[in-house]
Structure 1
Amino acid sequence: MNATIRIQTEPFDAARETDLMTAGRADVGAVVAFTGLCRDEGGKLSSLELEHYPGMAEAELTRIAARAEERWPLLGLTVIHRFGMISPGEGIVLVLAASAHREAAFEAASFLMDYLKTRAPFWKREHLKDGTVGAWVEAKVQDDAAAERWA
């Protein structure tokens, strides 16, 4: 299986990506999709700026995907992460995990998100409606704790 890994500025279409993954695949019994969206943060947020370390980010996403492929019997895997300025309500990340059975697809998708949040070199900064630009968002302890369950 070859995972699809993309880092892009353009919005993604989860339904289209699912169709691409499953077209002509009678062996797929489950696809779990996770879409992470830009939150409005109480009506204060104008946009969220996402930056990444080019080359390193793709390599890390590929490494995380390979770990998921080793752990679960996956038939398809897609990880798309956006960068640039993203408005509230827009998608930031898409993870699709396909398997013959739901348990593997659910676990793989959860694993991927936990590891993306803690290991992929992406940074976020809030741009507020009042024109101010916030500091880079700090990592959260609960994200690290979530990733530890897969160790």
Structure 2
Amino acid sequence: MTTPAKIRVQEADFDLGAEVAALRADNPKVGAVACFIGTVRDLNEGSAIETMELEHYPGMTEKSLEAIADQARERWPGSDVLIVHRVGKLKPLDQIVLVATTAMHRAEAFESCAFVMDYLKTQAPFWKKEKTERGERWVDARESDDAALTRWTTRET
């Protein structure tokens, strides 16, 4: 029986070193760890970003993230997944999301990390609102994120 994926949605910041150490401690067969940290940009669509506010539906969001992590663990047996996603009001350079994956080998770790991030960007129920000098605006989904997802849905694994 596999352990459940490690999923957290929180307002507090996270510590990369502590998170990876905890993830690695759960599996002595880990040969590789791949990590992605997303941060708040200071500029988007030509406007300076003062703050970004992330909203979600508690319960539904965690279930969505668990489903994404479970899909990754099915594609890459023996891998593990950690997703920490922040919500609330953030400023430029603040950390938004951490995706960390473990595997026996680097290729699987890199692939599973990219898979989780591509699905998270397109399938997870988060809403982003930016505050700029021109006022507030909701951030629309990007076509490039949908295009990135197709690499996982159009190939055999």
The two structures share one fold, judged by TM-score above 0.5: yes
- Aligned residue for 1:79, secondary structure, equals strand
Give distance in 1, aligned partners of 2:15 and 2:71. 25
2:151 alignment counterpart: 149
CA RMSD in angstroms, aligned pairs only: 1.5
Is contact 2:79–2:109 with CA below 8 Å preserved after alignment?
no
Q: How many Å apart are 1:73 and its aligned residue?
A: 2.4
Matches within 5 A, 1:1-151: 1-23=3-25, 25-41=27-43, 44-128=48-132, 130=133, 132-151=134-153
| Structure 2 unpaired stretches of 5+ | none
Aligned pair in 2 of structure 1 residues 46, 57: CA closer, same or farther (>3 Å)? same
Is contact 1:73–1:104 with CA below 8 Å preserved after alignment?
no
Number of residue pairs the alignment of both structures matches: 149
| Identity, % of aligned positions | 46
Give distance in 1, aligned partners of 2:131 and 2:13. 19
Give distance in 1, aligned partners of 2:152 and 2:105. 20
Q: How many Å apart are 1:2 and its aligned residue?
A: 2.4
Moved over 2 A (4+): 23-26, 73-76
Is contact 1:125–1:133 with CA below 8 Å preserved after alignment?
no
Give distance in 1, aligned partners of 2:124 and 2:84. 12
Q: How many Å apart are 1:24 and its aligned residue?
A: 6.7
Q: Letter of the aligned partner of 2:54 in structure 1? A: L
More displaced, 110-119 or 72-81?
72-81
Give distance in 2, aligned partners of 1:49 and 1:103. 34
Q: Letter of the aligned partner of 2:34 in structure 1? A: V
Give distance in 1, aligned partners of 2:111 and 2:8. 21
Is contact 1:74–1:104 with CA below 8 Å preserved after alignment?
no
TM-score by length of 2: 0.89
Is contact 2:32–2:106 with CA below 8 Å preserved after alignment?
yes
- Aligned residue for 1:149, secondary structure, equals helix
1:41-89 CA distance string (max 9 Å, x none): 0782111111112111111000000000100024421001100001111
Give distance in 1, aligned partners of 2:115 and 2:28. 25
TM-score by length of 1: 0.93
More displaced, 5-14 or 42-51?
42-51
